[in-house]
Amino acid sequence: MSLLRNLFSFSFTANSILTKPYFAISIKAMESTSELNLQYPKPISPPPPPISKDIELRRAMEASSKSSLFNLTRDDVLYEDEHLMAVNKPKGVYCEAVLRSAPQIVLDSSSEFHLANRLDRDTSGVMIITKSHKVAAKLVKAFTEHKIRKSYIALCIGSSPNWRKITVSSGHGRSKHGAWRVYAALDVGRVLPGGSFVRDMETTFEVVSVNGGETESCEVENVIVVEGEQELSCGGDAVVVVRAFPRSGRTHQIRLHCQYLGISIRGDVKYHGMYEWRGRTFEGHELHAECLSLDHPVTDDPIVIRAPLPCWVTEDGKCNG
């Protein structure tokens, strides 16, 4: 009882002023915080499924082990000159492991190696490593200003698209749970929990094949400006290979927009991609950075760097690569 009396006892001096009870102020502050939370923009895409947490943790541990043993070879090099080199990053290896092993295949030991671009752990394809601070700064600036043209290819599972070419324009940001989500285009610039902002992102997609059958190229481009919940059909088990051209460079941009289109990338469990499909389990998503087109940061000459395509692009997704 004495403890309770101490907790709830208050001493006042002649100059003490108490305009409102302490608990009333606390409740009012909580209500104000709640009202503020209601003003945050709501994400359009769903949160990661509960199963993704354990799967992603296991994949990260396996990738760490694989990365610790990884070494680049000359066969991985797609392009090289005295200023930079482009390599074909394999799936399931962290970018830092690729950078760490770069000196082993370059004769000039005085080079200062830097990553000019990054790929997700399970994304394969073109990655540029520069050999000096100056070139690195120029390329990073070019990537930031979207002066470098990028194309990716992805194998997705979902409904057969009723479009052949489409551009998706939306917002991008982290939800209150820390996951990257799609937001409405009108929410761009609004504050998110934690103080970050919704940023714009835009991706153009072209259908390459459906269930192994190639599609004809199409000049007619549909445009979707994301305003609310997804209206496109979801579900289905069609194998849809798409080529993606991101016009911005947001984290997990292609993966998020594929999810929004109802054709999540196979193996991309974080964004509702098929983890188990037709009797097989897929470790990692099937997304490949196939091409970078840029002006050389020193000579200004145009260069196009292409990485060999994975076997799943042309074999109806039946290979293990």
Helices (H), the chain: 2-7, 22-38, 51-69, 95-101, 133-144, 253-260
Residue 307 token pair: 């990485």
Cα–Cα dist 45/246, whole Å:
18
- For residues 311 and 94, the model is more confident at 94
Catalytic one of 120, 122, 187, 268: 120
Domain ranges in the chain are 51-309
Beta bridge partners of 210: 213, 240
- The reported pTM is 0.83
Q: Which of 256, 232, 235 is nearest to 244 (CA)?
A: 256
Q: Which residue shows structure tokens 């999540």?
A: 264
Cα–Cα dist 287/5, whole Å:
64
CA angle 23, 27, 32 (to 5 degrees): 145
- For residues 108 and 21, the model is more confident at 108
pLDDT value of residue 176: 82
Cα–Cα dist 32/259, whole Å:
35
Average pLDDT of the chain is 85
Catalytic site includes residue 120: yes
Class of domain 51-309: alpha beta
